[in-house]
A and B are shown apart, each in its own frame.
Chain A
Amino acid sequence: MFRNFFLAFEWTSLKEVWQYRELFFFLVWRDIKIRYKQTVLGVLWAIIQPLSTMLVFTIFFGRLANLPNDGIPYPIFYYSALLPWIYFSTSISLSGNSLISNTDLVTKVYFPRVIIPAASVLAGVVDYVIGSTILILMIWLYPETGFSFAILLWPVLLAPLVLFAISVGMILSALNVSFRDIKYTIPFIIQLWLFLSPVIYPASMVEERLGENFRFLFDLNPVVGIIEAFRVTVIPGRSIDWGAFLISITVISIVFVLATLFFHKAERRFADLI
């Protein structure tokens, strides 16, 4: 029974998502258009958000609290982690609320529902790209850092983050249909998650202060491996901790499969519950 479910799921669903790929792109396109049309600041918003957060972090966590910075200037230390983090947190927040904010689509038309949370995540990539150009500018401004081929890894590092954001988005959006208080839980989840991820502090600090065993637990959060890898690309002479990265990829793959199964089971009732 379970095996049948699995097989049926794999073929018909994957084929269907592929059939609806154009709708998927249209929804991504719509989300991007709306994002920049609705706000007065438009595209500027994609720059202001990480820059202002970086500034606050630099002043308070850097200059005041004097947290370790892996030997690079605070602005770049924070900005390089905030870029993937803001992309991830914005994505799961938009994606988590995507189904309930597209009620008319869910109740009036048929298509594989996964398109909706996935489109929200994809639309954020534009912000990410715009934010990256600022990072390039900063590398150029700070002689302590330096360009290396490592920045070519940015798109590669983004891929698992997108997949993970889609997975989390699928789970949250599906729960959001059944339980309306999930909506209010999402900002809280994001806040906790920020502290559990090496944005404000470097991952090395966790190992130093809390020990190696704790470090392993810490690495189970897939965001850790990715953010760390991302930050390392701007630190001269350091290379990516592929071990931690591999843990991230493994956890993401498992979460993705579970999220897909969960979403697939839940989507049958979306139109009735929403």
Chain B
Amino acid sequence: MTASIQVDNLSKEYRIGRLKHETMLRDVLVNFAKGKFLNREAQSTFWAVKNVSFTIDRGEVVGIIGRNGAGKSTLLKLLSKITYPTTGSINVQGRVASLLEVGTGFHEELTGRENIYLNGSILGMKKHEIDERIDQIIEFSGVEMFIETPIKRYSSGMKLRLGFAVAAHLDPDILQVDEVLAVGDAAFQKKCLQVMDDLRSGGRTVLFVSHNMEAVENLCSRCIWIDQGKIRQDGNASEVIRAYMSSFSSLGSAHMDLNKLESRIGSGEIRLTSMEILTTDGNLKEIIRSGDSLLIRIHYYAKQAVSDPHFGFRLTSQVGTLITDVSTWSMGLDTGRVPQGAGEIDFEIDFLNLMPARYYLTLWIQGVGSIRYDILENFMAFDIEGSDYYNSGRGISSNFGLVFFPCKWTKPRLLP
């Protein structure tokens, strides 16, 4: 195995404060006139990436995960030479293609075909390579009909498909992808994953930054977890993802106060305040077993009257697979106008058909037109304990998958 990417003690320091954005020459001149050339007090700094070292071998597919602002994107920018390291070194062997967004450099006035050439060239393709692949690219994009039309007439979906079609026909030794999968519909995302999978089978090195743990788990053999600019964990993808997921949330209890949770997204007109896990007769339920029925009581506080908010309940597995996301909206329940003040809503589960394992819970309130009021992503981990649901004396365990359902085997019958 030869090293494809070798990173030694890489660090990147950013300046924050007045000198970072929109500096005016005027300011510098004024400061200069006042006798201080640089306004030092304004320069506080932070390390976006700090002492990161790793080696990636040729043909490895590595996922890079971490929270927002952890330094994943900075790391990718450093690896693709867009930004320069403050200290440390990067050694990359082979032709690199970095996809930090789809359709970089597209120009609205140019036609689809012209943009394929422009974008392809920006992503590092040679003209003869684009000439060879142009028909495939156009076919793949699915916008043949409009290929001679300026892309200002395209829908955003068409632009995305066109941009991705170019990216899919790059032929790099090393591909670096940042969150491309965050955009587009499910079919598009599937196509993206397919292309990356093909690259993997073709023995290319792939570096994949994503929040989609399931995709990382499926594609990558190895995973690097970046936390506050440093490598928190580097190793087998499933293990790292498991550790990452569990870092999100402490193990919950049957009664959770949600007021103090800080990692929440949303405008906050209506907020989740607490949650209780209860048995059907209303007692706190500390132990949850496979096959149980339970009632989740959610308390909220509306700062003002909110019309028709949607309440949602989402479960995620340890490796980030979405198990279910059920909401008042998807079940067709109209919540009506929720008046200002505190209130509660119940979510009943008749039959919890999940195999024993650790799960992550997300609760959310969103509004009409996907306004986000309050989203508590993976705020709580909880364990579902095993039970002997089938009365076989053998119990059920996570070795048998994620879910079970009412079902039955017959005895084998000899055909006459």
A272 contacts which of B80, B83, B118, B126 (Cβ < 8 Å)?
B83
B24 close to A271 (CB less than 8 A): no
> CA separation between A237 and B128, bound complex, in Å?
50
Judge whether A268 and B84 touch: CB under 8 Å. yes
**Does B254 make an interface contact (CB < 8 A)?**
no
Task: Give the residues in chain A near B26, CB-CB below 8 Å.
Answer: 181
Interface status of B14 (Cβ within 8 A of chain A): yes
Within 8 A of B (CB), among A89-107: 102, 104-107
**Could you tell me the distance between the alpha carbons of A234 and B114 in the complex, rounded to whole angstroms?**
40
With the chains together, A127 CA to B374 CA distance in Å?
57
Instruction: Enumerate 11 A-B pairs (CB-CB under 8 Å) in ascending A order.
Output: A22-B121, A26-B117, A26-B122, A33-B110, A34-B109, A37-B109, A108-B82, A109-B98, A109-B122, A110-B81, A180-B24
Q: Is B109 touching A272 in the complex (CB atoms < 8 A)?
A: no
Beta-carbon contacts under 8 Å, B75-117 to A: 77, 80-84, 98, 100-101, 104-105, 107, 109-110, 114, 117
Are A22 and B127 in contact, with the CB atoms below 8 A?
yes
The answer for the CA separation of A149 and B314 in the assembled complex, in Å, is 81
Q: Given the interface contacts A179-B23, A179-B25, does A105 sit within 8 Å of B109 by beta carbon?
A: no
B315: Cβ under 8 A from any A Cβ: no
Of B98, B100, B104, B121, which contacts A26 at CB under 8 A?
B121
Query: How long is the Cα–Cα vector from A268 to B114 in the complex, in angstroms?
Result: 30
Q: Tell me whether B25 and A182 are in contact (CB under 8 A).
A: yes
Q: Does A30 count as interface, using CB distance less than 8 angstroms?
A: yes
The smallest C-beta distance from B230 to any residue of chain A, in angstroms, reads: 20
When distances are taken between beta carbons in the complex, the residues of chain B under 8 Å from A104 are 101, 104-105
Residues of B within 8 A of A185 (CB): 25
Contacts A30-B107, A34-B107, A268-B84 known; A109 to B22 CB distance under 8 Å?
A: no
- Asked whether B123 is an interface residue with its Cβ less than 8 Å from the other chain, the reply is yes
Q: Report how many A-B pairs have Cβ atoms within 8 Å.
A: 76
A269 and B228 CA atoms in complex are apart in Å by 22
Q: Is the CB of B126 within 8 A of A109?
A: no
Q: Which of A63-111 contact B (CB under 8 A)?
A: 102, 104-111
Does any Cβ of B come within 8 Å of A260's Cβ? no
In-complex Cβ contact of A34 among B28, B98, B110 (8 A) = B110
**Chain B hits for A108, CB < 8 A:** 82, 98, 100-101, 104
Q: Indicate if the CB atoms of A30 and B110 lie closer than 8 Å.
A: yes
User: Which residues in chain B, 17-42, are within 8 Å of chain A measured between CB atoms?
Assistant: 20-26, 28
Instruction: With a 10 A CB-CB cut-off, give which of A105, A110, A268, A273 has the most chain B CB atoms.
Output: A110
- Residues of chain A whose beta carbon lies under 8 Å from any beta carbon of chain B: 22-23, 26, 30, 33-34, 37-38, 102, 104-111, 175, 178-182, 185, 268-269, 271-273
Cβ contact within 8 Å between A23 and B122: yes
Seed contacts A108-B100, A178-B23; 4 additional CB < 8 Å A-B pairs = A23-B124, A33-B110, A105-B104, A107-B82
The chain A residue sitting closest to B178, CB to CB, is: A108
Pick from B81, B122, B124: contact of A105, CB under 8 Å: B122
Q: Which of A109, A179, A180, A182 contacts B82 (CB under 8 A)? A: A109
Main secondary structure, interface of A, reads helix
- A37 CA to B109 CA in the complex, in Å? 7
Expressed in whole angstroms, the minimum distance between the Cβ of B182 and any Cβ of chain A is: 15
Which residue of A has the minimal Cβ distance to B14?
A: A272
Which residues of chain B in 372-401 are interfacial with respect to chain A, using CB atoms and an 8 Å cutoff? Answer: none
Chain B hits for A180, CB < 8 A? 22-24
Q: How far is the CB of A28 from chain B (nearest CB, A)?
A: 11
How far is it, in angstroms, between the C-alpha of A38 and the C-alpha of B109 when the chains are bound?
7
Would A273 and B107 count as touching, CB distance under 8 A?
no
> If the complex has contacts A23-B122, A110-B80, A110-B98, are A179 and B28 also in contact, measured as CB distance less than 8 A?
yes
Chain A residues positioned under 8 Å from B25 (CB to CB): 175, 179, 181-182, 185
Q: Are A179 and B24 in contact (CB under 8 A)?
A: yes
Q: In whole Å, how far is A122's beta carbon from the nearest beta carbon of chain B?
A: 15
Residue of B with least CB distance to A177: B23
Taking A110-B82, A181-B26 as contacts, is the C-beta distance between A23 and B100 under 8 angstroms? no
In whole Å, how far is B48's beta carbon from the nearest beta carbon of chain A?
Answer: 10
Q: How far is the CB of B131 from chain A (nearest CB, A)?
A: 12
10 closest residue pairs by CB, A with B: A179-B25, A26-B121, A110-B81, A271-B83, A268-B84, A108-B104, A108-B100, A181-B24, A37-B109, A271-B82
Contacts of B109 in A (CB 8 A): 33-34, 37-38
Min distance, Cβ B41 to any Cβ of chain A, angstroms: 19
Considering residues A111, A179, A268, A272, which has the most beta carbons from chain B within 10 angstroms of its beta carbon? A272
State how many angstroms separate the Cβ of B128 from the closest Cβ of chain A: 9
Query: How many angstroms between the C-alpha atoms of A179 and B22 in the bound complex?
Result: 7
Question: Which chain B residues border A38 with CB–CB below 8 Å?
Answer: 109
Question: Using Cβ atoms and an 8 Å threshold, which residues of chain A touch B80?
Answer: 109-110
How far does the alpha carbon of A37 sit from the alpha carbon of B108 in the complex, in Å? 11
B58-85: CB near A (< 8 Å → 1, else 0) gives: 0000000000000000000100111110
Residues of A within 8 Å of B22, CB to CB, are: 180
- What is the minimal beta-carbon distance from A11 to any residue of chain B, in angstroms? 17
Residues of A within 8 A of B107 (CB): 30, 34
Q: Which of B20, B101, B114 is the one whose CB lies under 8 Å from A273?
A: B20
- Chain B residues with CB under 8 A of A33: 109-110, 114
Docked Cα-Cα span, A175 to B122, in Å, equals 24
